[in-house]
Chain A
Amino acid sequence: MNQLVNVGLTNSVGDITQYLTFQSANDTFAIGILDVKEIIEIEGITRVPMMPEFLCGIINLRGKVVPVIDLSKRLGRLSTVISKKSCIVLVEISHEDEQQTIGMLVDEVNEILEIDDEHTQPPPDFGADLRVDFIRAMGRVGEHFMILLDINYVLSVADISAISQLNFRTAEANDEVL
């Protein structure tokens, strides 16, 4: 798995890797450009009942059903307020030997940045206000550090499906109390 990620991140000329940066939850994040399949406008997200809040629903991507996740909510922050600039970043991750396309709802995409691999550092143990395993590395751009997200964790299918199961159970429990 790790090997796969490495290949995905460094598969470019020299030691320079390209990243897509975007805004979400008033923060700037980046993911490896090779993970990004495409960026699309928001159009008709169908809600799926009984799923965790960060799962916005599903969309029709040229005949394929693709789940969309509210990145801000997934990172434990407020729900994304959909504006003109909001869009969905489609990424592909592998789960149990299958490629799964997942959409990430973000506030705005910024630009494509090149970061020298020497300018990346392991994530700090605390202080990022984020689950550590979500962070692949910290990338230095000028004087600033930017969080490079590990989408295999952020959008982990196993993780999300486990949460949804938990969610479902809790919903039942709530029903009982009522």
Chain B
Amino acid sequence: MTASDVQKLFMTEAEELLTEMEDALLSLEADSENIELINQLFRAMHTIKGAAGIFNYSAIVDFTHPIETSIDKVRKNELKIDCALIALLLKCKDHTWALVNAAVEDDEAALNTLSIQSQLILTELGRHENIESCFPQTIAAEPITPERIEGHYLDTGHWLISLDFRADTLRNGLDPLSFIRYLHQLGQVLEVICLSHKLPSFEACDFESCFLRYRIIFAGNCTKEQIESVFEFAQDDCDIQILPSQKISESFQALIEQLNPSENQRLGEILLSIGAITEKELAKSLHLQSDNADDSTTKKLGEVLIANQLVDKPVVEQALKKQTQAREQAQTIRVDSNRLGQLINLVGELVTASAAMKVMVDRYHFLDANDLVGCVEHLVQEIRENALQLRMVQIGETFSRFRRVVRDVSNELGKQIELTIQGGESELDKIVVEKINDPLTHLVRNALDHGIEQPQERINAGKSAVGHLMLNAFHDSGHIVIEVTDDGAGLNPERIRKKAELLGLVDVNQVLSHAEILRLAFEPGLSTKEKASNLSGRGVGMDVVKRNIEALRGSVELDSELGKGTKITITLPLTLAIIDGFMVGAANENYVIPLNMVEECVELNQGEWHEQQKNYISLRGELMPFIRLKSFFNIPNANQYNHRESLVVVRFGRTKAGIVVDKLFGEQQTVIKPLGKMFQHLKGLSGATILGTGDIALILDVQGLITEVSISAKKYHHVALIDE
């Protein structure tokens, strides 16, 4: 690893931490009591500071250190987190990122300017803290702890020991008092409360039985285990509980936090290792757990421990979290994306090679090798699927980045906007995710700026003052569909039309449907907002969005109703590398149709279509327009009449259409090879693939093909109208 590699790693890590920090900050706006989020903030700053220290990036260290201190104050309840502080910390986060960039690039000049800004931000932070500390601390923020119940004796570092002696204690020759005396050797017994409510009436009393119940408040610098050992002899005759005070409980949590996670540590082991429970307690709880095992609802160890008051709930939660964290950490490996790309390329070669082998075996009739070929083919397919899966990432991360955008923009514009995210767990290729980010940002900004109106305007229009923006993602026939929906003003079709007429895109007399007018919004130069803002509205938006998405073999659709809102639907292929294909032949050329778009294949009844010279048939009563591939592609020497044509029914979203071909070859794994820049304007073909024979087949872009055909059909229609 070279120095620059390490720096790169530092940058990636910093970016991740800062994103995490931003997420935490934004979540804190709604949930300011969440200590875990504050811990996250602290961790982010702390880790970046540490890493920057290693690289000797003093600018970063100097800046992050005071922030870390401030967050620590929040953690200790010395400073309250509020909107102002969150806004300030967001600023700190952005600034840290700028510092990281400048430091890694070793940009002296930038660092100098940034360090002045650092000072400004830190002064602001310092001022905020001072104002804040003038206010008295709110008491309600403190959780209810044992000290509250038992009075105010319990201070930090104290234990509450409850001893409930059983009736037979005295009969067994034990002296309860001796234990308390012995306890003195370990530390200081601050208070002994004797509970007398269980004492029977004088007449009913059995004087040989013991009814003593003590609550002892004990201060001593010792472990739970040591305290427990005091009562070792009494164990059979006494119910003992040793509860830590809040401070000790917190120290347990802190200990768990510091633990080095190892993958398979059990909850009990974790708690034991930090001394939150003793071995005996653990054994007892496990025993209890297995005793109840036949119940339909077996309790988890953590639940048992909490139910028996052996451990505080937060401690168990912390331990469980550490456990899952350890598992997650053990299950993820950072891999250079180039290496992954290489692997996928190799898998692509493997697919081609295996297809070539199959062709060979078939050609020379190696019957013995048939099974083997089948086996290899199956394995290759599995490898392929797994390899592609490696590059799949959830879209949720991309979506949640917009929380910040929405927050900033709505503040800037004085709008109230709520962002809803759905389907964040939908997966797609990392490359697609990266490339979709820009267009998506554009759409979101558009929706925020143009779509959603000012609160007053919304109320006047009879809508709630808070605007809603929704990002949604789901899978559909081998594609991922991303929807950006807002409940804002919607697009004004008349204005779009007028603008389009001005630009000469449409004729004044031309009759256009609602959908067609909306589609015009994707034409270059159309931005309906009269006033361009610094967010959007320069008219370079939508056509660029459309172009970017189409470059990914995707499509974008727009639906809008004036006054009700706008919905933009983006459809993208899940992966750009390898697909399952369905190979067909037209005249002497081979084409591959993505298998997940193929609905069915039907043999064409030639009598039906050939006489009519029309490009539609009735498929079981359903009207099915079709494209005859060999005429659409002008395949030379394709005029000979074919008696056995087939109709491949393809579906894209709600659109169904037929493709008429001469031959059906069947399924095959298809490695998509891009055709290159030279073919970038080619519609209807999305790439090429190399067949087992070494020949090339072109891959049909079904959606592009259908769109292209329907557009030219409409033009034809308009021409016909004008001619009349």
- CB B120 to nearest CB in A, in angstroms, measures 40
| Complex-state Cα separation, A158 to B697, whole angstroms | 24
Q: Cβ of B127: which chain A residues have Cβ within 8 Å of it?
A: none
Contact of A46 among B676, B678, B682, B688 (CB under 8 A): B688
Encode contact with B along A145-178: 1 for CB under 8 Å, 0 otherwise.
0000000000001101110110010001001110
Q: Cβ of A111 < 8 Å from any Cβ of B? A: no
- Are A59 and B716 in contact, with the CB atoms below 8 A? no
**In the complex, residue of chain A having the shortest beta-carbon distance to the beta carbon of B719:** A176
List residues of B (579-599) whose CB comes within 8 Å of A's CBs: 589
Residues of chain A within 8 A (CB-CB) of B697 are 46
Q: In the complex, what's the smallest C-beta–C-beta distance from B630 to chain A, in angstroms?
A: 10
With most chain B CB atoms within 10 A of its CB, the pick from A48, A160, A161, A177 is: A48
- B688, A58: Cβ atoms under 8 Å? yes
Q: Is B500 an interface residue (CB 8 A)?
A: no
- CB-defined contacts of B675 to chain A, threshold 8 Å: 48, 58, 65, 67
Instruction: Output the nearest chain B residue to A158 by Cβ-Cβ distance.
Output: B677
What residues of A have a CB within 8 angstroms of the CB of B634 in the complex? 49-50
Distance between Cα atoms of A52 and B678 in the complex (Å): 11
Whether A46 contacts B683 by the Cβ 8 Å rule is no
Q: Known: A46-B688, A50-B633, A175-B716. Contact between A59 and B678, CB under 8 A?
A: no
B678/A168 in contact, CB under 8 A: no
A64 within 8 A of B: yes
Query: Bound complex: CA of A7 vs CA of B703, how far in Å?
Result: 45
Which residues of B are found within 8 Å of A162, using beta-carbon distances?
A: 681
A48 touches B690 (CB 8 A): no
Chain A CB within 8 A of B477 CB:
no
Asked whether, in the complex, the Cβ of A67 is within 8 Å of the Cβ of B678, the reply is yes
Inter-chain contact B694/A44, CB cutoff 8 Å: yes
The reply to whether the CB of B405 lies closer than 8 angstroms to some CB of chain A is no
Closest chain A CB from B613 CB (angstroms): 13
Instruction: Give residues 639-679 of B contacting A (CB, 8 Å).
Output: 673-679
- Which residue in A59, A100, A175 is a CB contact (below 8 Å) of B712? A175
Question: Chain A residues near B696 (CB, 8 Å)?
Answer: 44, 46, 58-60, 65
Question: Which residues A53-95 have CB closer than 8 A to chain B?
Answer: 55, 58-60, 63-65, 67, 95
Partner of A168, one of B636, B676, B681: B681
Query: Cβ of B352 < 8 Å from any Cβ of A?
Result: yes
Contact B635 A49 (CB under 8 A): yes
**Is A161 a contact of B680 with CB atoms below 8 Å?**
yes
B67 to chain A, nearest CB (A): 40
Q: Is the CB of A60 within 8 A of B712?
A: no
What is the distance, in angstroms, from B592's C-beta to the closest C-beta of chain A?
Answer: 12
By a CB distance below 8 angstroms, the chain A residues around B719 are 176-177
Does A143 sit within 8 A of B, measured CB to CB?
no
State the Cβ distance, A80 to closest chain B Cβ, in Å: 16
A49 to chain B, nearest CB (A): 4
A131 at the interface (CB under 8 A from B): no
Alpha-carbon separation in the docked complex, A158 to B676 (Å): 11
- CB of A37 closer than 8 Å to a CB of B: no
Given the complex of chains A and B, what is the CA–CA distance between A175 and B716 in angstroms?
8
B713 nearest CB neighbor, chain A only = A175
Is the C-beta of B495 less than 8 angstroms from some C-beta in chain A?
no
Q: How far is the CA of A98 from the CA of B715 in the complex (A)?
A: 37
Kindly report which residue of chain A lies nearest to residue B687, judged by CB atoms.
A65
Q: Is the interface of A mostly helix, strand, loop or mixed?
A: mixed
B698 contacts the other chain (CB 8 A): yes
Q: Are A161 and B681 in contact (CB under 8 A)?
A: yes
Instruction: Kindly state the separation between the CA atoms of A177 and B716 in the bound complex, as whole angstroms.
Output: 8
* B686-711 contact mask (Cβ, 8 Å, vs A): 1 or 0: 00101000111110000000000000
Kindly state whether residue A5 has any CB partner on chain B within 8 Å: no
Q: Report the separation of the CA atoms of residues A168 and B711 in the bound assembly, to the nearest whole angstrom.
A: 13
The answer to whether A48 and B681 have CB atoms under 8 Å apart is: no
Specify which of B632, B635, B674, B681 is in contact with A164 (CB 8 Å cutoff).
B681
Closest Cβ of chain A to B695, distance in Å, is 6
B597-627 CB contacts (< 8 Å) to partner A: none
Kindly state the separation between the CA atoms of A162 and B352 in the bound complex, as whole angstroms.
Answer: 32
Q: Which chain B residues lie closer than 8 Å to A44 at the CB level? A: 694-696
Is the CB of A125 closer than 8 A to any CB of chain B?
no
Contact of B678 among A47, A49, A160 (CB under 8 A): A160
Chain B contacts of A60 at CB under 8 A? 690, 694-696
Chain A: which residue is nearest B697 at the CB level?
Answer: A46
Which residues of chain B from 19 to 71 have any CB-CB distance to chain A below 8 Å in the complex? none
Asked if A64 and B678 sit within 8 Å, CB to CB, the answer is: no
Contact check, A100 vs B688: say whether CB atoms are below 8 A apart.
no
Question: Could you say which residues of chain B place their CB within 8 Å of the CB of A27?
Answer: none
A34: Cβ under 8 A from any B Cβ:
no
CB neighbours (8 Å) of A175 from chain B are 712, 716
Q: Which residues of B contact A161 (CB under 8 A)?
A: 677-681
CB distance from A164 to the nearest CB of B (A): 5
Q: Are B695 and A164 in contact (CB under 8 A)?
A: no
B448 at the interface (CB under 8 A from A): no
Q: Is A51 an interface residue (CB 8 A)?
A: yes
- Does B234 lie at the interface of the complex (its beta carbon under 8 Å from any beta carbon of A)? no
Question: How far, in Å, is A170 (CB) from chain B's closest CB?
Answer: 12
Give the complex CA separation of A50 and B633 in angstroms.
Answer: 7
Which chain A residues border B146 with CB–CB below 8 Å?
none
A 87-127 binary contact with B (CB < 8 Å = 1; else 0): 00000000110101010000000000000000000000000
Pick from B349, B632, B633: contact of A63, CB under 8 Å: B349
Chain B min CB distance to A10 (Å): 28
Establish whether residues B679 and A46, one from each chain, have CB atoms under 8 Å apart when the complex forms.
no
Q: A46-B697, A65-B696 are in contact. Are A157 and B690 (CB under 8 A)?
A: no
Q: Is the CB of A157 within 8 A of B716?
A: no
Q: Is the CB of A48 within 8 A of B685?
A: yes
**Contact between B673 and A96 (Cβ–Cβ < 8 Å)?**
no
Task: Knowing that A48-B679, A48-B685 touch, tell me 10 more A-B residue pairs with CB under 8 angstroms.
Answer: A46-B697, A49-B634, A49-B698, A58-B696, A60-B694, A65-B674, A67-B676, A162-B681, A176-B715, A176-B716
Q: Which 9 A-B pairs give the minimum distances between C-beta atoms?
A: A49-B633, A165-B681, A46-B696, A65-B673, A65-B688, A157-B677, A176-B719, A157-B678, A60-B690
Which A positions have Cβ atoms within 8 angstroms of B? 44, 46-51, 55, 58-60, 63-65, 67, 95-96, 98, 100, 102, 157-158, 160-162, 164-165, 168, 172, 175-177
Q: List 6 A-B contacts (CB under 8 A).
A: A48-B685, A67-B675, A161-B681, A168-B682, A172-B715, A176-B715
